[in-house]
Amino acid sequence: MSFAACAALVEKADPERFRAIMAAPVNARQVLFPLYAFNVEIIRAPWVTKEPMIAEMRLQWWRYVLEEIASGGKVRRHEVVDGLAAVLDVQGAKDLDAMIAARRWDIYNDPFANQADFDAYIHDTAGLLMITAARLLGGQDDAVVADFAYGAGVANLLRALPVLLDRQRQPVPEASHTGIAALADGALTRLNAARKGKARIAPPAGAALLLGHAARPVLTRALADPQAVLDGRLELSPLRQSLRLSHAALRGWWV
């Protein structure tokens, strides 16, 4: 039941990732659905309340969960926790704890101090999650996964940029045309580096990277037309997204 609950949560909250996970082999779904259900819980924690202290408490609750999983002792019962505890190891618990720590930034309105801080945020959120998923699925080169996850993370952030700016957040170092184009260009460079290292990713682990299948066309459009980012015009049509996912599932995550 916990696996079904995790899948249902991802389907409702993140349909794009749900479809990507369903394109993965059945055994990979057993790992990916609990991980990404956990991700849904962490992402939405800062947004379900206007009180920073309550948001901090929600994130801290999940940090306690990860401590329990890492200790190997009794773990509290919760439909997502049950699924997560069944697939996560000690290293994964530590990495996901670092991801939660990074997500505390989402609670507040503070800007990133510099590009390095922004890059660290993308690595600790999108990167650590995908690295954990790929490792649990059968081995990977962390540097390759980190490059790919950076591109996917920046693409997802740019897609959400108008909403975040409207909520008085400052999620990018510079929300100008020049700043957006620079982010997209840097993220595409990281995607290209990951593509060159594709041989260092074990095929089973590649299922985790299917979740970034839309990154390249999104970043390409953001680079060519930064105003499309600010206008919220980065989304792929349902048909194009479906074709992109099918192509990635058949050819490989690096397309």
Structure tokens at 223: 């680079």
Radius of gyration of the chain (CA): 17
pLDDT of residue 219: 98
Compute the distance between CA of residue 194 and CA of residue 143 in angstroms, rounded to an integer.
8
Place of tokens 């260092």: 200
pLDDT digits (tens, 9 = 90+) for 172-219: 999 999 999 999 999 999 999 999 999 999 999 999 999 999 999 999
Residues of the chain with pLDDT under 50: none
Q: What is the DSSP letter of 243?
A: H
**Would you give the DSSP letter of residue 113?**
S
Token pair for 165:
């700016």
Question: Helices 2-13 and 79-87: crossing angle, nearest 10°?
Answer: 110
Q: What is the pLDDT of residue 123?
A: 98
Q: Model-level pTM?
A: 0.95
What CA–CA distance (Å, rounded) separates 177 from 125?
A: 25
Helices 142-166, 177-196: axis angle to 10 degrees equals: 160
- Amino acid identity of residue 26, one-letter, is V
Positive or negative, the CA dihedral 192, 197, 199, 205 is: negative
Q: What is the pLDDT of residue 70?
A: 96
Q: State the pLDDT at residue 23.
A: 96
pLDDT at 160: 96
- Residue 208 CA to its chain's centroid (Å): 10
According to the model, what pLDDT value does residue 1 have? 64
